[in-house]
Amino acid sequence: MKPFSRWTIAEVEEQFNLKFCKHHAILEEWLNAPAALAPAEELLLQELCGKLQDHVWDWNEGELKGKFIFPLLAAVNFDEEQYQSFIEREISVKIENDTLGGTVDFFVASGKRYPKHPYFFIHEFKKEHDSSGDPLGQLLVTMTAAQKLNHDGKPVYGCYVMGRLWFFVVLQENDYAGSLAYDATKEDIKDIFSILKKTKEIIANLILAA
C-alpha cells in the first residue's frame, strides 16, 4: 500500500469508507473549550505571532518549523510522564495482506523511547503557497492508520498546517470532521494554543480511561 504522503482525501474516503461530517460533537467540544493562558504564554504568543507576520511568506519549511511551530509546541509541552511527542517517526499497521504506513511529521503517543499508542498528529508544516499533495488526505490516512493500530474505538485527533493556517481534524469510527482555518498571524494564535493545551487534557483522560 502506498505511503501516507501519496494519499488524497478522495482515496482515503473511498478506501476506508470514511464520511465527512459538517458538524461533529467531539470536534466542537475540542475547539470550544479554551484553556486559560498565563501572562508568560501571552507574551510568547505575541512574539511568535509577530515573527510569523514578518516572515510567513518567505520562510521555507525548515524555517517555519524551527522558528514558529516547534517553539509553539515546546511551550505547550507534549512531553509528560505517560506520553511523549515524536518527530519524523514511522508508524505502520497491517491491513489484510498489506501494510499501511509512512513517516509522520509530529505526533503524540504513549511510550518513552518509541511510540506505542498514538493520540494526536500534526502534519504538513508547509508554506501556504507551496503545499505538496493533499494535506487533509495525508493527515486523515495517518489518523486512520493510528485508529486501526490502537483498535480501541476512541477518537483520533489531528491538525495540518499550511503557513499561517491551522486546521483541526477529528476521526471517530468512520466519521471525520474538520475545523475552519485558524490564522496564526492574528488573534487566532491564542485559540490555536488553547486547543493544543486542551489536547493534553484529552490525551490524559484517554489514558486514564484505558
Q: Which pairing describes strands 175-178 and 19-20: parallel, antiparallel, or unpaired?
A: parallel
Those residues whose C-beta lies under 8 Å from the C-beta of residue 63, and which sit 6 or more positions away, are: 55
pLDDT value, residue 138 = 94
Q: Give the whole-angstrom CA distance, residue 174 versus residue 180.
A: 20
**What are 138-161's pLDDT values in tens digits?**
999 999 999 999 999 999 999 999
Q: Which pairing describes strands 98-109 and 118-126: parallel, antiparallel, or unpaired?
A: antiparallel
More confident residue, 133 or 44: 44
pLDDT value, residue 126 = 67
Q: What angle (nearest 5°) sits at the alpha carbon of residue 40, between those of residues 85 and 71? A: 35
User: 107, 86 in Cβ contact below 8 A?
Assistant: yes
**What are 82-127's pLDDT values in tens digits?**
999 999 999 999 988 889 999 999 999 999 889 999 999 998 766 6
**What are 61-89's pLDDT values in tens digits?**
889 999 999 999 999 999 999 999 999 99
Among all chains, which residue has been given the C-alpha cell 490564522? Answer: 183
Provide mean pLDDT across the span 155-177: 96
* Alpha-carbon dihedral 208, 158, 142, 128, rounded to 10 degrees: -160
pTM: 0.95
